[in-house]
Amino acid sequence: MLIEVSKDVYRKHFSTDLNPFISEAFIGLVEGKTDKIIRLMKSDDISMGLLAGVKDDVLCAPFSAPFAGFHYTHEYLSYELVFDFISQLKNFVRENNFKRITITLPPDLYQTNMNAKCINAFVRLNFVMSIPEIINWIDLHKFNCIWVKHSVAQNYNKALRNELSFHVVTDEQSIREVYTIIFRNREVQGRKIHMSLNDIVQVNHIMPVDFFLIKDGNGNRLGAAVFYRGHEKIAQGIFMGDDLENRSVGVMDLLYGSIYDYYKKMEYDFIDLGASGLNGEPNIGLLRFKEIHNCTTSLKYTFTWGPDIEHIDTENYAAKT
């Protein structure tokens, strides 16, 4: 059975975080956005655990992040162990009178083997799968400054001819300008931004946050980006945007190429460029734009279960395995 344990007990067994959003530092930053933090382990096995928040009687992992997932001792846990843990989650939800549980797994970029086993177990245990989010990422080992579409190189060179330049900024005024550009870009496109500048600055207290600007020859700010470095080998793009009135001069092409080069020189393996859509509906233009900038396209999965959702006979399954 699953038991709730203290932070000290949980961290005694799970000292390594496979992604930054299940770290104690990040959880401590956002715990005010949930009613309670719950840490779960099996009473007779310490190979796998779950850290989640309670919001309106729903167990959520994550409760304020793009994804969460499980803690585990290694990615080669047996399928039977994974299946049993997820099966016990249903019992925990039922016995503690939660309405349901919702879990969003990290993209395969962060954990491939565990995702395959978890997704299969979720489906077999009749968890409801939301429409998978399309996400994009770039393998920096394969990036050699040759673009899959020739127009990207043309636009990149156009930006240089127009005297555009890439800057890593750290001063308060420039950071405000980064946020202003991104906020206006979202506003013009009718897209909400769910973080304030102060929220981003607070994240910078627990993990490195990089702020980038594209400027023209007169110092005007035309493009911006915010990236997290909460993983030792994967940089994560949080926000990217430009001044739409000046998009034709190659702002975003210079921004993408410069960021790729920046993290490649820092010896990162990948850049997670996040979802290309919202609530399972793809943003066709954004998806296409990322793909012509050499991004790989894959999926991010969310599963939900509650007592009102039909379940399978896990005991019979266990007996067969």
Q: What is the average pLDDT value for the chain, to the nearest integer?
A: 93
Say if domain 2-130+301-320 classifies as CATH 3.40.630. yes
Confidence at residue 108, expressed as pLDDT on a 0 to 100 scale: 96
111: pLDDT strictly greater than 60: yes
Q: Do domains 2-130+301-320 and 137-299 have the same CATH topology?
A: yes
The separation between the first and the last C-alpha atoms of the chain, rounded to the nearest angstrom, is 19
Going by pLDDT thresholds of 50, 70 and 90, the confidence category of residue 176 is very high
61: pLDDT strictly greater than 80: yes
State the Cα–Cα distance between residues 21 and 277, nearest whole angstrom. 20
As a whole number, mean pLDDT of residues 83-109 equals 97
Chain centroid offset of residue 94 CA = 29
Confidence at residue 139, expressed as pLDDT on a 0 to 100 scale: 97
Confidence at residue 194, expressed as pLDDT on a 0 to 100 scale: 87
As a whole number, mean pLDDT of residues 140-149 equals 93
Which CATH number is associated with domain 137-299?
3.40.630.30
Confidence at residue 310, expressed as pLDDT on a 0 to 100 scale: 58
319: pLDDT strictly greater than 80: no
Chain centroid offset of residue 75 CA = 19
Going by pLDDT thresholds of 50, 70 and 90, the confidence category of residue 148 is very high
φ and ψ at residue 193, rounded to 5 degrees: -115, 125
As a whole number, mean pLDDT of residues 221-225 equals 96
312: pLDDT strictly greater than 70: no
User: Structure tokens of 107?
Assistant: 């993209």
As a whole number, mean pLDDT of residues 190-210 equals 93
Confidence at residue 60, expressed as pLDDT on a 0 to 100 scale: 98
State the Cα–Cα distance between residues 220 and 37, nearest whole angstrom. 45
239: pLDDT strictly greater than 90: yes
Going by pLDDT thresholds of 50, 70 and 90, the confidence category of residue 314 is very low
Q: Give the three-class secondary structure for 186.
A: helix
Give the largest Cα separation in the chain, rounded.
Answer: 72
Confidence at residue 98, expressed as pLDDT on a 0 to 100 scale: 97
| Cβ 102 vs Cβ 59: under 8 Å | yes
141: pLDDT strictly greater than 70: yes
pLDDT digits over 11-39, tens only?
999 999 999 999 999 999 999 999 999 99
State the Cα–Cα distance between residues 78 and 199, nearest whole angstrom. 39
Domain-by-domain residue ranges, the chain?
A: 2-130+301-320, 137-299
Confidence at residue 72, expressed as pLDDT on a 0 to 100 scale: 97
Confidence at residue 153, expressed as pLDDT on a 0 to 100 scale: 95
192: pLDDT strictly greater than 90: no
State the Cα–Cα distance between residues 123 and 117, nearest whole angstrom. 10
User: Structure tokens of 178?
Assistant: 């980064």
269: pLDDT strictly greater than 90: yes
Read off the pTM.
0.91
315: pLDDT strictly greater than 70: no
State the Cα–Cα distance between residues 115 and 183, nearest whole angstrom. 34
